[in-house]
């Protein structure tokens, strides 16, 4: 590589592995990893804190921070925002384009990790793992009967990369797999043994309903009180996608009223709306809820994969090249403030 001025890369996520760090340095990058307080994520940083970190940075590897037009306008040197993840509802893609910058996501890096997590939640709820341990700790060793995942009907809402990973894993359980998607891939359905149905049919017939859809205007509160009322009283809801897909208050009522049997939750509305904090706390207190702190993608292997993809996307842009098309969510080079 020709000698050049070091390109500054800022990482505002935890668990950035040595291999990805070494890759960036091998590409002539000077890497700075933000020091975050215990329990703090980059989504908790104020715009003033972000600006102080980003003022002389060329590339930013980011997690959950809000990428706004106001922020980007004050960062003329910044060329690329590389999300270590696949959701990008916190990225103002129009502002990225108009500012002449590039934004990318780490497609394919954490699909397997999240699919594994969804299956783990199904098994934990069916076999009452959390409830059984709590009883044993209190001295009650009576057997609590659980339910098999084997042979059950599982409804997958959103059949993209992660949803297909879940379907593939369910084949080992001889499960009947239903899917709801606005754009059915009939060839895939036939090959994978997945039956596409409408949303109501999926809710009515499934023993497990698992969400793998993006959060958009048309999917917000996709699972509301009406949707929950259509599910079996023995059914379980799994959400490892986005909190806004489910009306958490309606879910709490459905669990308390025994409208459904349980829920596995990796995401919550309170992550973006603090008025739902009390609802989240009430959900966490229920014995038929298995919960994790938005950690479905957070395995050593999954983060190594997404770290490297984000790093490769950042380097591609700094080199004047184009990252893989599936990773690019906005490219304003030549069209916005940074263009000719």
For residue range 220-234, what is the model confidence (pLDDT) as tens digits? 999 999 999 999 999
* Domain boundaries of the chain, sorted by first residue: 7-109+299-331, 111-291
As given in the structure block, the two tokens for residue 195 are: 């039956």
Q: Which of 28, 92, 81 is nearest to 58 (CA)?
A: 81
Strand stretches in 113-207, DSSP E:
153-157, 176-180, 194-196
Q: Which CATH architecture has domain 111-291?
A: 3-Layer(aba) Sandwich (3.40)
What's residue 339's pLDDT?
42
Mean pLDDT of 88-92: 92
Give the CA radius of gyration of the chain: 22
Average pLDDT, the chain: 94
The structure tokens listed for 288 are 């038929």
Q: What is the pLDDT of residue 6?
A: 81
Q: For residue 59, what are its two tokens?
A: 């590339």
pLDDT at 3: 52
Specify the pTM: 0.88
305-333 average pLDDT score = 97
Closest by CA position to 175, among listed 159, 194, 157, 201: 194
So which residues are the catalytic ones? 242, 271, 294
The 10 Å CB-count burial string (b at 16+, else e) for 54-77 is beebbbbbbbbbbbeeebbeebee
232-254 tens-digit pLDDT: 999 999 999 999 999 999 999 99
What's the fold here for domain 7-109+299-331? Rossmann fold (3.40.50)
Q: What is the pLDDT of residue 129?
A: 96
């Amino acid at each position: 590589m020709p000698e050049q001025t070091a390109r500054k890369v800022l990482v505002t996520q935890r668990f950035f592995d040595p291999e990805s760090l070494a890759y960036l340095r091998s590409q002539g990058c000077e890497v700075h990893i933000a020091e975050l307080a215990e329990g703090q994520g980059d989504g908790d940083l104020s715009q003033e804190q972000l600006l102080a970190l980003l003022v002389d940075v060329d590339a930013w590897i980011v997690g959950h921070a809000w990428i706004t037009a106001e922020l980007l306008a004050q960062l003329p040197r910044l060329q690329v925002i590389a999300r270590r993840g696949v959701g990008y509802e916190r990225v103002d893609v129009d502002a990225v384009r108009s500012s002449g910058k590039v934004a990318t996501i780490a497609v394919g890096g954490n699909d397997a990790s999240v699919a594994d997590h969804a299956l783990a939640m199904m098994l934990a709820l069916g076999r009452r793992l959390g409830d059984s341990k709590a009883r044993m700790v209190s001295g009650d060793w009576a057997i609590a009967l659980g339910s098999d995942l084997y042979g059950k009907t599982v409804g997958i809402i959103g059949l993209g990369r992660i949803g297909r990973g879940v379907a593939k894993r369910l084949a080992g359980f001889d499960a009947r797999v239903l899917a709801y998607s606005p754009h059915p891939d009939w060839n895939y359905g036939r090959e994978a043994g997945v039956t596409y149905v409408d949303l109501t049919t999926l809710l009515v017939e499934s023993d497990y309903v698992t969400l793998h859809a993006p959060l958009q205007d048309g999917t917000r509160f996709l699972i509301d009180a009406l949707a929950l009322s259509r599910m079996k009283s023995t059914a379980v809801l799994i959400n490892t996608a986005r909190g806004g897909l489910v009306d958490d208050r309606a879910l709490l009522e459905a669990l308390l009223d025994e409208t459904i049997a349980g829920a596995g939750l990796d995401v919550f509305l309170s992550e973006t709306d603090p008025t739902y904090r009390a609802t989240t706390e009430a959900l966490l207190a229920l014995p038929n809820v298995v919960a994790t702190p938005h950690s479905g993608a957070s395995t050593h292997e999954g983060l190594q994969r997404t770290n490297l993809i984000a790093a490769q996307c950042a380097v591609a842009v700094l080199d004047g090249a184009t990252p893989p098309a599936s990773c690019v969510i906005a490219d304003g080079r030549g069209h916005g403030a940074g263009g000719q």
